[in-house]
A = this chain, B = another copy of it.
């Protein structure tokens, strides 16, 4: 059994804060603080350029990729870290489209994170080959998978509602019509069990600053199924994806397998923080995380619905059909979230009207849920959100 008391002790959680926004930015793992401090002084400071070899910086993208891979059901050697999630979406989609050159439709849904759609739009515009980005409603996706579809590109968990797609079924359907499936695991990795190999996903991408607690702007990851890895031509053909980067040849030769998805010089500070953050997952059973996540989410839904009747559930009620987050809808959602944050309950707001809470068993327990609802109830009952200050919108994430 996973020891959640122990995992909680691995994080720094500020006094008086109930942090229900680990689905957007995970809290600081104490090990990350130490690891980065060592990187700065003992590695960068002392080793200087030699750090690339002696401190293993150059191999971090693959080594850490394997650590992430274990949490998402990826075969060893199929995941590599680097860049941002948006860049990894572009890489995956560009490669996927080349595998089905005669088809023109990229199928996605309105619950996908907008950046995925924007990157697809940018890629399609650059290609100039008449591709079309077709965006349907999430519940219409399965029916829309037909023989015109080149690539099915979905985010497994909807960033607004937490609605969970059935990766295995949709991938199977995509394959049955000859399409390729690209999955974005931004709100999945570290939140629930994923079985990329078992689902026969073709490509997957994700970020690591949410449930994996890698820190603000932590590097992204990309997975390429072994059956495709030696076939795909990288659109972003950078030197570290070259078969022999330090030969400094004038022409590009793709590296073996997943290595060709490397692009430029890897961001070592971010990788070091992430590497340490992943220590928290040692000895953690993702099935335990899932069970506890559903328990916490269910408790939150039940308590809020009983005590704050003006808030309308914006997430699937069935725990099996959602990720590890709960949204409630209210037209004054922005102000309500500001009032919550002022009282130490940190969630976030997603336009137009969703207040969003992430439940992360590694460091959040039932007591936190109850206390958060106590505060939310007070805010709703006494209209504490109804001030000019809280209604004044700022840049939000």
Q: Closest B-chain residue to A249, C-beta based?
A: B114
Complex Cα–Cα for A264 and B119 (A):
10
Determine which of B33, B45, B129 lies in contact with A14 in the assembled complex, contact meaning CB atoms within 8 Å.
B45
Complex Cα–Cα for A351 and B246 (A):
8
Q: How many residues of A contact B (CB 8 A)?
A: 95
User: For residue A128, which residues in chain B have a CB less than 8 angstroms away from its CB?
Assistant: 127-129
In the complex, whether A135 has a CB less than 8 A from a CB of chain B is yes
In the complex, whether A117 has a CB less than 8 A from a CB of chain B is yes
Q: Please tell me if the beta carbons of B45 and A264 are within 8 angstroms of each other in the complex.
A: no
Give 1 or 0 for each of A45-74: 1 = CB within 8 Å of chain B CB: 110111111000110000000000000000
- Output the least CB separation between A220 and chain B (Å): 7
* Known pairs A216-B269, A348-B49; A121 contacts B252 (CB<8 A): yes
User: For residue A123, which residues in chain B have a CB less than 8 angstroms away from its CB?
Assistant: 126, 235
User: For residue A209, which residues in chain B have a CB less than 8 angstroms away from its CB?
Assistant: 265
A interface with B by C-beta (< 8 Å): 12, 14, 17, 19, 21, 24-25, 27-28, 32-33, 36-37, 40-41, 44-46, 48-53, 57-58, 82-87, 90, 94, 110, 113-115, 117-119, 121-123, 125-129, 135, 160, 207, 209, 215-220, 233-242, 246-252, 263-271, 273, 341, 346, 348, 350-351, 394-397
Between-chain CB contacts (< 8 Å), 14 pairs: A14-B45, A14-B46, A44-B215, A53-B397, A83-B264, A84-B238, A118-B251, A121-B237, A122-B236, A123-B235, A126-B127, A128-B129, A160-B248, A219-B267
